């Protein structure tokens, strides 16, 4: 089998969509792509990657740069903002997973991710953590410290979907930054991952509504005062 050409990628998208919509079986979908010059393993990868993108779930097998861009573009054209949000959550999980497992850079595909982030009507902002070191600033040796933050809580689009669902106020103490700081605090909030990270495998996919909850930085810190973290209810009871 030869190189996966752009034409094969475009054919794979249509076949993967037909499989997802249950118009054809996996066997039929694979056979079509085999006839178009794709090997069986890659065919299955591309077919399932589409399903994961549509559902906002992690996919572990990589696709080429053109496929990443083409799949996102078509999903956006056909499914609008909600479809693109799910696809970007899925891609973000994949890029983090791939970099951790392979140690390889995925700059080109991260650039594609950022390109489509900019197409969202309300571009999600990166979380602000006060003790975080800026990547583009040089510091004297020994003057920096590593700040490890749960990548699920950092996922820009997952955060956005969580906040759109619950609102930008703390689900523990009801603090709202915009009420106090005006425009400076508009839409600012942390999100807390409600599942103990130690129990999660590397192939976990975050659900923005079930797994994330908006909290203020103070309550976020208090939730993590024990391991595993307090539940939202437990912390509310402590406040009472």
> Do both 170 and 213 map to the same domain?
yes
Whether 113 contacts 98, CB under 8 Å: no
pLDDT for residue 172 is more than 80? yes
Neighbours of 67 (CB within 10 A): 23
User: Within this chain, do residues 90 and 165 fall inside the same structural domain, yes or no?
Assistant: no
How much is the pTM? 0.76
Q: Look at residue 22 and give its three-state secondary structure.
A: coil
Average pLDDT of the residues of the chain: 86
Distance from C-alpha of 230 to C-alpha of 226, rounded to nearest angstrom: 7
Higher pLDDT, 160 or 140: 160
Q: Provide the pLDDT for residue 131.
A: 46
pLDDT at position 145 over 50? no
Q: Give yes or no: residues 112 and 32 share one domain.
A: yes
The residue among 65, 94, 117 that closes a domain is: 117
175 and 105 share a domain? no
92 and 176 co-located in one domain: no
Average pLDDT on 199-213 reads 78
> Tens digits of per-residue pLDDT, 84-138?
999 999 999 899 888 888 888 789 999 999 999 999 876 666 555 544 444 444 4
- 160 and 109 in one domain? no
For residues 11 and 113, state if they share a domain: yes
Out of 117, 139, 169, pick the residue that ends a domain.
117
Nearest of 189, 164, 163, 166 to residue 176 by alpha carbon: 189
Do 91 and 170 share a structural domain?
no
Tokens 């090997």 correspond to 39
Alpha helices (H) in the chain, listed in sequence order: 6-20, 26-35, 40-55, 65-102, 107-117, 151-154, 156-166, 177-181, 217-223, 232-239
* 11 shares a domain with 78: yes
Asked if residue 79 belongs to a domain, the reply is yes
Confidence of residue 197 (pLDDT cuts 50, 70, 90): low
Residues 108 and 31 in one domain: yes
Say whether pLDDT at 29 is over 50.
Answer: yes
Choice between 131 and 167, residue whose per-residue pLDDT is larger: 167
How confident is the model at residue 212, as a pLDDT? 92
The upper half-sphere exposure of residue 167, i.e. CA atoms within 13 Å in the direction of its Cβ, equals 10
d(CA 88, CA 160): 11
The reply to whether 75 falls in a domain is: yes
Segments forming the whole domain that contains residue 94? 6-117
21 and 113, same structural domain? Answer: yes
Could you give the CA distance from residue 157 to residue 87 in angstroms, rounded to a whole number?
Answer: 10
Please report whether residue 108 resides in a domain: yes
The answer as to whether 143 is a domain residue is no
Under the banding of pLDDT at 50, 70 and 90, the label for residue 155 is: confident
pLDDT(9) > 60 = yes
Distance between CA atoms of 27 and 97, rounded to whole angstroms?
A: 28
CA atoms within 13 A on the CB side of 29: 25
Q: Nearest 5 degrees, angle CA 198-CA 202-CA 203?
A: 125
Each residue's pLDDT tens digit, 39-56: 999 999 999 999 999 999
Per-residue pLDDT for 144 more than 50? no
Residue 109 shares a structural domain with residue 159: no
Residues 6+ apart with CB under 8 A from 82: none
In a domain, 77, yes or no: yes
Give the count of domains, the chain: 2
Q: Give the model confidence (pLDDT) of 214-237 as tens digits.
A: 999 999 999 989 888 899 999 999
- Is 70 exceeded by the pLDDT of residue 150? no
Q: What is the CA radius of gyration of the chain?
A: 20
């Amino acid at each position: 089998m030869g190189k996966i050409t752009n034409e094969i990628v475009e054919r794979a998208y249509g076949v993967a969509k037909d499989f997802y919509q249950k118009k054809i079986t996996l066997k039929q979908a694979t056979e079509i792509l085999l006839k178009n010059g794709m090997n069986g393993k890659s065919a299955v990868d591309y077919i399932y990657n589409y399903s994961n993108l549509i559902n906002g779930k992690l996919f572990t097998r990589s696709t080429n740069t053109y496929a990443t861009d083409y799949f996102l573009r078509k999903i956006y054209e056909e499914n609008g903002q909600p479809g693109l949000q799910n696809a970007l959550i899925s891609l973000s999980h994949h890029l983090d997973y791939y970099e951790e497992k392979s140690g390889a850079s995925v700059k080109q595909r991260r650039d594609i991710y950022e390109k489509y982030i900019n197409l969202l009507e309300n571009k999600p902002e990166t979380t602000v953590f006060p003790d975080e070191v800026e990547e583009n600033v040089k510091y004297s040796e020994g003057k920096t410290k590593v700040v490890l933050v749960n990548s699920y809580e950092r996922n820009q689009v997952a955060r956005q979907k969580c906040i759109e669902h619950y609102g930008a106020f703390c689900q523990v103490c009801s603090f709202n930054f915009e009420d106090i700081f005006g425009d400076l605090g508009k839409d600012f909030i942390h999100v807390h991952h409600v599942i103990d990270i130690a129990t999660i495998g590397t192939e976990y996919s975050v659900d923005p509504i079930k797994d994330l909850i908006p909290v203020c930085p103070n309550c976020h810190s208090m939730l993590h005062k024990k391991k595993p973290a307090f539940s939202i209810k437990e912390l509310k009871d402590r406040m009472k």
